[in-house]
Amino acid sequence: MSARKKVVVFDYGFGNVRSAERALAHVGADVEITRDYDTAMTADGLLVPGVGAFAACMRGLREARGDWLVGRRLAGGRPVMGICVGMQILFARGIEHGEEAEGLDEWPGTVEPLRAPVVPHMGWNTVTAPEDSQLFAGADAEDRYYFVHSYAVRAWELETANPALRPPKVTWATHGEPFVAAVENGPLWATQFHPEKSGDAGARLLSNWLGTL
């Protein structure tokens, strides 16, 4: 029997860490909630949750050395997954209530207010994933995932000029307008929705991520 994969849910004060812990344990991970840098650095997988405002999350992440942690793990090809605002802070910047804040800049792009008749976007929605997606392997086009957000990335700006490099796999959803719902980019994966709150469909996605660690 293969060893259970060790996953750290990074606790920097801005995420539903208990929900993430339960969901990952449900699909077979050995989960620890911590902000200890060394423990998080050596885990098989790192999950970065996030709730609240972009700028506040970034401040909390930096105070916990999470910016260094994410960068160091990715430089070594070690998997990281961001959820909700934990995905948004992976982009270059966020603009909320007129306040602009720098993100981790793993991907170019801006997190901006959703342009939709009803905001926040709160509830269940389908997504459109690439056919070769690993994250959504085994998923049905009618599967629904739980979203709760007022801001999103409305345009994917990363261009892969080198044909030898695999372009990121970008999944989209629509609420008033299309926005980025998930990204798979080498060791860095992220979802705008909450897989830990998305029932069996979300559990399948977490299991797929766990299987790549």
Residues with active-site annotation: 84, 194, 196
- How many angstroms separate the Cα of 132 from the Cα of each of 77, 129, 184, 185? 21, 8, 11, 13
Rounded Cα–Cα distance for residues 84 and 36 (Å): 22
* Paired tokens of 76: 């070594």
Query: If we measure between CA atoms, which residue out of 62, 109, 92, 84 comes closest to residue 101?
Result: 92
With 0-12 / 13-18 / 19 or more C-beta atoms within 10 angstroms meaning exposed / middle / buried, residue 118 is exposed
| Cβ-based neighbours of 67, under 8 Å, separated by 6 or more | 58, 61, 104
3-state class percentages of the chain: helix first, strand second, coil last, to nearest 5: 25, 35, 40
Question: Residue for token digits 């800049």?
Answer: 105
Query: If we measure between CA atoms, which residue out of 11, 150, 169, 179 comes closest to residue 85?
Result: 150
